[in-house]
Structure 1
């Protein structure tokens, strides 16, 4: 990654950690799911009315021409468009990286339902009408605002697709407009999936300026560098709207950026997991005390008994002894085991346990795993699915967790920081100081 991209990740991660960020997602994010692009949707209709080349043209205007000339009204045109969405499409790696990010507000101009699919196991509130936008959202829910409607669920009049729809947007959707204005003032937006001369982004940023004037926060747009004088001037012009362009060489460069943001959005957070039947652990206690002395380290407490409780108590005691602000160093997550004790040993409940633990691991950067049974192994697996860096500190080859040393994701993420750690752990020569060193290396 370039120094400019690394600087952006650091800056924007701070907004994500503070809860003052929102993603704004365009059609480019769905391209890898083989969904038709704007151009592909409009092109066959444009040909029928005598427009052979629509590349680089305003697609909302092209859609307006098609309706005016071919259909007379929007209904039949949308029926034709919706038929192109009837195939079964699947979320792609970009969607998954977004879904693992510690973020609560996502805006999109996309008509598809791929975001809903990728967030299927996360509590979400989907909004695409003026009536729904005012609905209160609990803290644990992710809000997805489909400002241009949904091709599967919206009434035809709620779909924004033509030039006249854009012209009437302020009048027809005043509540969505007001919400957008508030978010532009209070959150830092990251625009992704939009390209140079994209009519959607042009309309949005124009309205952003109209809505918030010069009081907008710093926003960002990631797009491929066209390496032309006109593109340079376009990027410079976006500064007027409070938008800084982050240039990448090719579309594929976006994925590692999103994955890095996903991980860094969680802050310097740790979660310590292990057996519920552990009643004493000098290493867990000593480790937690050390972690509490590392500035800005956050302890995610899953409110479990056993080893995690030992670690949490030690971290809390050290914070109090040091007279630090406990509210800034602790995050608490519901304990599924208190709701259903069978989670500890009922294999059939593992899928449900994993689902309940998703919010915890979406907020965790580093997971330290001690020996444990079925529940600990399940927590490590969901942590890996959520993109966490899992550091094993196993000693019992007979425990269920020892099997995790074969997990490719776990090994790949560890080896980025210490190539010999897993090998030495298998040889049983990893010590407490080795564990502490790799944690400090990751968190620094």
Structure 2
């Protein structure tokens, strides 16, 4: 399960990055470049580990070697081909590895262009888990093809474990790259010019990328787009005490020089103190991007204790409040709640004097035709997809009919709350509507930091559970909490 991000306090430069890059994501101008560091944290080997046996066969010390492409080339030269190197690649990248929190967050971010030098398929799995359709570009031949309905285009510029014979591994592979994969170079160059890239797990030692950066700089001069690189600032002192302080200071100085040099290409370094901070920083970015979406979790076979008329009135007013305060409604069309919430939201859209985009209301009914044997899994994935698109959820009522047509607590609404907790989303329970909402409200009043992390909420929570509160008071309290959650996610707090 993912860890909520409220323990992470972004620094000024990190907050600036979240806002600037987040706005590029929202405008469709962002792209990702994922390097080996992201896969290494999932349990895959890095280049040095991959070539350790190769170095031993050549009577060389892998610890002393820096030109690893040349090392791979020496091995191919000595063996008259690359069969053994291909096999080592297969062995290294077909063993079990688990995608990380970083993969999960990247899978949810609405970025449609992704570049990687990695051979593994963890990114593909992350996008599949997030319910997004990915088209993988592996060769010149399929660069010109387009998969209809794709959500992501993933450029694997060095190949994939599925085709190890075509992977870019050796010095010669790099030397002939512009002959065999020239269109990848041109496409990446175009994205450098037209998009804002975020580099993750990348060391900027790849000669292909360095050459492309130089060409873009040559053509654009000082008119380059801003790009970002998230990396760890080398510590001043080795925690384990295995390295002297002068070596640690040397690493810091070199890192600062590299960071300054990357500014020539428009790349700004976003420092973190520890690699473990990177998922939290990305979670904060996700919260910023999704901050205006609101998911209403609820179902009401039984409208008690409010009664049908009051519950419908509250649902319609909630929909109108979400739209009227500048948020977007996301709904799975839960029985007894969604119809009225959507109705109120549409009234607010059509009655507004301001231009309203069509995507202010997103309705994604649950897949009713899913086979009974797989329905629970399908519904869970559907809920995860919906909740990953929002900044907060509101819980109303939460009951359904049992086999005897009697009301019972809704396990679906409860699952939605658990998904929101796992994703670190603020949860606003309308306690006066009873059922699951009352249960969550009681838990939230006891532990508000868990359900509304970092948000001042005591007075509003009290209103949401007060039996004599008016419908307008409840709606206003929800709107206030949504605005506070939005301010927190937008780093304006």
TM range (shorter): 0.7 to 0.9
Could you report, residue by residue, the CA deviation over 1:219-258 in whole angstroms, capped at 9, with x for unpaired residues? 1111122464333222122122221111222222212111
In the other structure, the counterpart of 2:205 is 199
- 8 Å CA contact 1:376–1:401 kept in 2: the answer is no
**CA separation in 2, counterparts of 1:99 and 1:71?**
40
Query: Within 2, Cα distance between the matches of 1:221 and 1:159?
Result: 25
* CA distance in 2: counterparts of 1:98 and 1:17, whole angstroms: 14
Q: Which residue is 1:282 aligned to?
A: 313
Matches of 2:433 and 2:328 in 1, distance apart?
28
Q: Specify every segment of 5 or more residues in structure 1 that has no aligned partner in the other structure, as ranges.
A: none
How far did residue 7 of structure 1 move? Answer: 0.8
Pick from 164, 172, 186 the counterpart of residue 172 of structure 2: 164
| Residue of structure 2 equivalent to 1:81 | 89
- Residue 376 of structure 2 is matched in structure 1 by 350
Q: Structure 1 pair 289/357, CA: closer, same or farther in 2 (3 Å)?
A: same
Maintained 8 Å contact 1:60/1:199: no
- 2:48 matched residue in structure 1: 39
In the alignment, does 2:481 pair up with 1:438? Answer: yes
Query: By how many angstroms is 1:422 displaced?
Result: 11
Aligned in 2, Cα 1:412/1:56: closer, same or farther, shift over 3 Å?
farther
Mapped to 2, the partners of 1:403 and 1:7 lie a distance apart of: 34
Contact 1:35/1:89, CA 8 A, preserved across alignment: yes
Instruction: Report the secondary structure of 2:111's partner residue.
Output: coil
Report what 1:392 is aligned to: 429
Secondary structure at the counterpart of residue 251 of structure 1: coil
Residues 102 and 394 of structure 1: is their aligned pair in 2 closer, same or farther, counting only changes over 3 Å?
farther
SS at match of 1:102: coil
Residue 97 of structure 1 is matched in structure 2 by 105
CA contact 1:71–1:77 (8 Å) conserved in 2? no
Counterpart of 2:159 (choices 132, 136, 149) is 149
Structure-2 separation of matches of 1:271 and 1:355:
15
- CA distance in 2 between partners of 1:328 and 1:167 (Å): 49
Distance (Å, rounded) in 2 between the aligned partners of 1:359 and 1:223: 29
Distance 1:301 1:398 in 2: 19
Alignment of 1:215-234 (within 5 A): 216-226=224-234, 228-234=252-258
Partner of 2:491: none
Cα 1:19–1:333 change in 2 (3 A) is: farther
Kindly state the Cα deviation for residue 216 of structure 1 after the two structures are TM-superposed. 4.4
Q: Residues 178-327 of structure 1 correspond to what in structure 2 (within 5 A)?
A: 178-195=186-203, 198-200=204-206, 203-210=208-215, 213-214=219-220, 216-226=224-234, 228-275=252-299, 280-295=311-326, 297-302=327-332, 306-327=336-357
- Which range moved further: 94-103 or 383-392? 383-392
Give the match's secondary structure for 2:230: strand
Q: Greater Rg, structure 1 or structure 2?
A: 2
- The 3-state SS of whatever aligns with 1:275 is strand
Contact 1:185/1:217 (8 A) holds in 2: yes
Residues 1:129 and 2:145 are matched in the alignment:
no
Greater shift after overlay, 91-100 or 139-148?
Answer: 139-148
Separation of aligned partners in 2, 1:409 and 1:207: 52
How far apart are residue 359 of structure 1 and its match? 3.9
Q: Among 376, 385, 391, which residue is 1:365 paired with? A: 391
* 2:17 pairs with 1:5: no
Match of 2:365 in 1: 335
Distance 1:67 1:420, change over 3 A: farther
**Structure 2: runs of 5+ lacking an equivalent:** 1-9, 235-250, 399-409, 488-493
Q: Say which is worse superposed, 397-406 or 81-90, in terms of deviation.
A: 397-406
Taking structure 1 as reference, are residues 302 and 175 closer, same or farther at Cα in structure 2, changes over 3 Å only? Answer: farther
CA RMSD of aligned residues (A): 3.4
Deviation at 1:269, TM superposition (A): 1.7
SS in 2 for 1:170: helix
Taking structure 1 as reference, are residues 23 and 413 closer, same or farther at Cα in structure 2, changes over 3 Å only?
farther
TM-score by length of 2: 0.77
